[in-house]
Amino acid sequence: EAQVTQNPRYLITVTGKKLTVTCSQNMNHEYMSWYRQDPGLGLRQIYYSMNVEVTDKGDVPEGYKVSRKEKRNFPLILESPSPNQTSLYFCATRSPPGRGLITYEQYFGPGTRLTVT
Amino acid sequence: EDKVVQSPLSLVVHEGDTVTLNCSYEVTNFRSLLWYKQEKKAPTFLFMLTSSGIEKKSGRLSSILDKKELFSILNITATQTGDSAIYLCAVELNYGGSQGNLIFGKGTKLSVKP
């Protein structure tokens, strides 16, 4: 079954304590990305990766790091979390365009609700 | 600056009503427009639109794109309480002829009352 998994699903932590949210996909997709979703602001992209070892900043990268050492995993790292990073985080992957298609479907992980106190 | 604007932000209707959700965009390099439905969890894909004037349909949902006027609409006929959700519009940017990033609107929250 095609899946994007995230861990943990829920996390309450304190300011300054480094954390990592993992994202893993079993679909061999090249493109992966991280979003945060906040009330009134919608989904905003944090970082994305076109392929292994290729990452780039999205709209709101400050305070976050990512790595893409292998195709299936794309962890999101908060070196020193702050309360303004309290949010709902989604990892997403994108299938390559099918034959005759210009584009694809984007698959979202189940989300990670992070609270930083 | 690339942007996607959805309206209304929130909508309350009764079962059986027909609703139209709007999505307008201003982007430098358009590739496609996508609609998603988000209930209490992750967004799920509804439609992808790339050509003007061609309606995409799935059951009671349909969508169309106008690339000249830079907008899309999502129609839901005979609404049901299960249609209650946030509907997200996203525009994919062209990235050197290949897949690009998605710019999301803020969403329209639809509530369908029995």
Q: How high is the pLDDT of residue A77?
A: 98
Highest mean pLDDT, choosing among A16-20, B90-94, B101-105: A16-20
Count Cα neighbours of A58 within 13 Å in the Cβ-side half-sphere: 26
Phi-psi sector, A16: left (phi>0), alpha (psi -120 to 50), beta: left
CA distance A35 to A116: 17
CA distance B60 to chain A (A): 21
CB A103 within 8 A of CB B48: yes
Q: What is the chain B residue with the closest CA to A42?
A: B106
Residue (of B72, B74, B66, B67) closest to B30 by Cα position: B67
Tokens, residue A5: 């998994």
Given an 8 Å threshold on Cβ–Cβ distance, is B105 in contact with A42?
yes
Tokens, residue B35: 């609609």
| Whether the predicted pLDDT of B114 surpasses 70 | yes
Q: What is the chain A residue with the closest CA to B87?
A: A42
CA distance A117 to A19: 13
Read off the pLDDT of residues A60-105 as tens digits, 9 standing for 90 and up: 999 999 999 999 999 999 999 999 999 999 999 987 655 444 456 6
Read off the pLDDT of residues B82-93 as tens digits, 9 standing for 90 and up: 999 999 999 988
Q: How high is the pLDDT of residue B98?
A: 53
Q: B34 at the A interface (CB within 8 A)?
A: yes
Name the residue type at position B113. Answer: K
CB A92 within 8 A of CB A107: yes
Name the one residue in this structure whose structure tokens are 């995409």: B56
Average confidence (pLDDT) over B23-36:
92
